[in-house]
Amino acid sequence: MNTEMSIIIPAYNEEENIELIVEELEKVVNKLNISYELVFVDDGSKDKTWNKISKIGENNKNIKGIKFSRNFGKESAIFAGLNYAKGKCCAVIDSDLQHPPETLIEMYGFWKNGYDVIEGIKLERGKENKLYKWFSKLFYKLMSISTKVDMEKTSDFKLLDRKAVDEIIALPEKNMFFRAMSSWVGFKTITVGYQVQERAAGNSKWSTFGLIKYAIRNIVSFSTAPLQIVTFLGLLFLVFTIFLGIHSLYKYFSGQALGGFTTIILLQLITGSITMLSLGIIGMYISAIYDEVKNRNRYIVEKSVNIMDN
């Protein structure tokens, strides 16, 4: 193992960005003057992404790639990249140049100084629409509360030491939230700020519905806080029930029953909706458990370039 740095690049329909990111990353590794490999993970792209990766790979053995048989999602792509990477340290970076490649120089410096987990932190959120900002704020708030890690500014842009990478790829869970896992593994950690750039070409790969699904999955895969909140709500309601029960019985025995129609309707609505919500939350956990129990592969590799021979 004598590759100094592996750079993992998940790519889904990024045909216009592949050459650009290769060029930028090569500038960085040349400046650092280190041995390197770029590990592209084509997450089942439908455009020419794979053609570009394999063509570049033919002329440069440092550029490696695997292509998934279909779209398995960014988390699976990152995981696969970490799995194939050979470097003493591994960086993960988006293929759309939103993560400035030069930041890797600073990250590498910290790694050289003995840090194991170097987290890229967004100094400013990029251009996003209001609804997206609102949702991501809510999501990160929930994540931060439940993971006790300040997640608001974190991203998938990171540099990890080999020992952190080995811990992460050894985790058996299928629904992994990479952003939180890198802090979960511990080790000597530091953050490095970066300015989120405009996407070089193409569009964001997320739909609103996709993002909501992703957010729920990640919360469920990393935290049981929602289940605890539901239990707490149940207890709170028990207290109300006791008070209201005593109150109603008192009214009944003192002959002032009847009335209280509004109370009944409100109680019905509140308990009904809380019960439904709680069932829903429990359902999400059951479906996450179901996914884990099935124990399917995280991804299926269809093709690869420069992977076998190292």
User: Which residues lie near Mg ion (CB under 5 A)?
Assistant: 96, 98
Report how far residue 13's alpha carbon sits from residue 252's, in angstroms, rounded to the nearest whole number.
Answer: 69
Q: Is 65 in the site for ligand UDP (CB under 6 A)?
A: no
Containing H/E element for 51?
helix 49-59
Q: Is 85 in the site for ligand UDP (CB under 6 A)?
A: no
Shortest reach from residue 152's CB to ligand UDP, in Å:
14
Among ligand UDP, Mg ion, none, what binds residue 4 when CB lies within 5 to 8 Å by partner kind? none
Q: Is 15 in the site for ligand UDP (CB under 6 A)?
A: no
The DSSP code sequence of 65-82 is EEEESS---HHHHHHHHH
Q: Lay out the site mask for ligand UDP across 194-233 (x = CB under 6 A, - = otherwise).
A: ----------xxx---------------------------
Among Mg ion, ligand UDP, none, what binds residue 14 when CB lies within 5 to 8 Å by partner kind? ligand UDP
Q: Is 119 in the site for ligand UDP (CB under 6 A)?
A: no
How do strand 301-305 and strand 117-124 relate by DSSP bridges?
unpaired
> What six digits make up the tokens of 195?
């300015």
The DSSP code sequence of 246-261 is HHHHHHHHTT--S--H
- Closest by Cα among 114, 102, 78, 108 to 194: 102
Report how far residue 164's alpha carbon sits from residue 247's, in angstroms, rounded to the nearest whole number.
Answer: 59
Among Mg ion, ligand UDP, none, what binds residue 68 when CB lies within 5 to 8 Å by partner kind? none
Please say whether the beta carbons of 92 and 158 come within 8 A. Answer: yes
Report how far residue 134's alpha carbon sits from residue 63's, in angstroms, rounded to the nearest whole number.
Answer: 38
Q: Is 57 in the site for ligand UDP (CB under 6 A)?
A: no
Q: Which one, 205 or 298, has the nearer CB to ligand UDP?
A: 205
Q: Which one, 210 or 283, has the nearer CB to ligand UDP?
A: 210
Among Mg ion, ligand UDP, none, what binds residue 120 when CB lies within 5 to 8 Å by partner kind? none
Bridge partners of residue 211, in order along the sequence:
none
- Closest by Cα among 124, 109, 105 to 194: 124
Q: Which one, 37 or 43, has the nearer CB to ligand UDP?
A: 43
Shortest reach from residue 271's CB to Mg ion, in Å:
43
Catalog residues that contact ligand UDP under the rule CB under 6 A: 10-12, 14, 43, 71, 73-74, 77, 94-96, 98, 204-206
